[in-house]
Amino acid sequence: MALEQTRDGDVVIVSWNDGENRYRGDSVAEWHEVLDEVEATDGPLALVVTGTGKFFSNGLDLDWMSAHPDESGDMLRGVHRLLGRMLVMNLYTVGAINGHAFAGGAMLTCGFDERIMREDRGYWCLPEVDLGLPLTPGMYATVAARLPQATLHDSIVTGRRYGGAEALVAGIVEHIAAEADVLPLAVERAQAMAAKNRSIIANHKRQMYGAAAELCGA
């Protein structure tokens, strides 16, 4: 299993522990199973998502897609739906960005309500302009929903790599922290929001981001 779940009080912690944490058919299916379980859990709850090692997520596994052309379409639809679901989850979500977040990994962070990035190592980047891969309407809607306009322009037109301090100034993340503090701070912030009314959270998110989520199939 690529995703490991633990619980700390009213906070579910999902750790993506699969090397570079790239999207493949099996990992995307596992993501949806985990989100189904989290959303169906009653009572006060918040979610923290993190990676392990030097990567938060390096996006699509292009080698897997080349080796599985018949499955790639379904996998891509699953990734889009994951991005949309994260935008409108029925609870407060915090991203503990432990390392590099590139392409689809960076897009996933846009769905979190709050983001904490390691201050001394790791880049956040949307490199599609350098890869020759245009953003799909759903992907664009996801990042446009949460990034400040100037940062949106800079990130998708230039493919700029943002370190922690730069990401904070650009409005990509709300906090930066030392490596050892990223996850504890994320759990602390999530716990502070876990008792909020989840139905109202879901309603408000759907009003703000529903159009983007629908473009993603969520």
Backbone Cα Rg of the chain = 16
Residue among 101, 81, 116 nearest 188 (CA): 116
Q: What is the mean pLDDT of residues 154-161?
A: 98
The C-alpha atoms of residue 134 and residue 159 are separated, in whole angstroms, by 12
Q: What is the pTM of this model?
A: 0.97
Q: Which amino acid is at 41?
A: T
pLDDT tens, residue by residue, 3-39:
999 999 999 999 999 999 999 999 999 999 999 999 9
Q: What is the mean pLDDT of residues 171-194?
A: 98
The C-alpha atoms of residue 64 and residue 69 are separated, in whole angstroms, by 8
Give SS3 for 217.
coil
| Per-residue confidence (pLDDT) for residue 1, from 0 to 100 | 74
The C-alpha atoms of residue 58 and residue 109 are separated, in whole angstroms, by 12
Find the distance separating the first CA and the last CA of the chain, reported in whole Å: 24
Give SS3 for 195.
coil
Q: What is the mean pLDDT of residues 171-189?
A: 98
Q: List the structure tokens of 184.
A: 């504890």
| Per-residue confidence (pLDDT) for residue 80, from 0 to 100 | 98
Domains located in the chain, CATH noted: 3-215 (3.90.226.10)
Instruction: Give me the count of residues in the chain.
Output: 218
- pLDDT at residue 205 is higher than 80: yes
Q: List the structure tokens of 53.
A: 């090692």
Q: What are phi and psi of 33, to 5 degrees?
A: -65, -45
Lookup result for tokens 């700029």: 160
Please tell me what DSSP assigns to residue 111. Answer: T
Q: At what angle do helices 149-158 and 137-146 cross, to 10 degrees?
A: 140
| Per-residue confidence (pLDDT) for residue 73, from 0 to 100 | 95
Residue among 188, 40, 14, 176 nearest 108 (CA): 14
Residue 109: band (very low, low, confident or very high) from pLDDT cuts 50, 70, 90: very high
Report strand pairing: 11-16 vs 46-51: parallel
